[in-house]
Amino acid sequence: MKSLEELRELRKKVEKEIKMRKDNSAPKIIIGMGTCGIAAGAREILQAVMEEINKRDLDVEVSQTGCIGMCEKEPLMDVKLPGKDRITYGNLKKEDVKRIIVNHIINTNVVAELVIARLEE
């Protein structure tokens, strides 16, 4: 270890690794994983999300939730940016995931045509 800078450089590389174990302000993606959701393809959505995040090396917290009562709209996915409203997207297809991540997570533009609900901050 040659310098403090070198250490900090290394830390930057590794800290994402454990970020989820801290209280953090990363964007959150919550996927509905009730039986209805899974039946409608929530697993594929989840896998697509993980793929995208990994590809783009994003700092995003992904979690799941059970059935929220809108079974006909499944698969459902919520995106919550810090300080912003929680947006619920529904009737998703695998292809939508990339759009949501690029537009909403990276560029903070809500993908309006996929939104089915908005929970105010």
Residues near other proteins (CB under 8 A) are: 1-4, 7-8, 10-11, 13-18, 20-21, 28, 30-31, 33-35, 38, 43, 46-47, 49-50, 53-54, 57-58, 60-66
**Nearer Cβ to other proteins, position 64 or 109?**
64
Q: Which two tokens stand for residue 75?
A: 């698969």
Q: Single out the residue of 82, 71, 95, 76 nearest to residue 30, CA to CA.
A: 76
Minimum distance of other proteins from residue 72's CB (angstroms): 19
Give the angle subtended at the CA of 64 by the CAs of 58 and 67, to the nearest 5°.
145
Nearer to other proteins, 18 or 112 (CB): 18
For other proteins, give the closer residue by CB, 65 or 91.
Answer: 65
Tokens 């290394």 correspond to what residue? 10
Task: Give which of 45, 61, 53, 64 is closest to 102, Cα–Cα.
Answer: 53
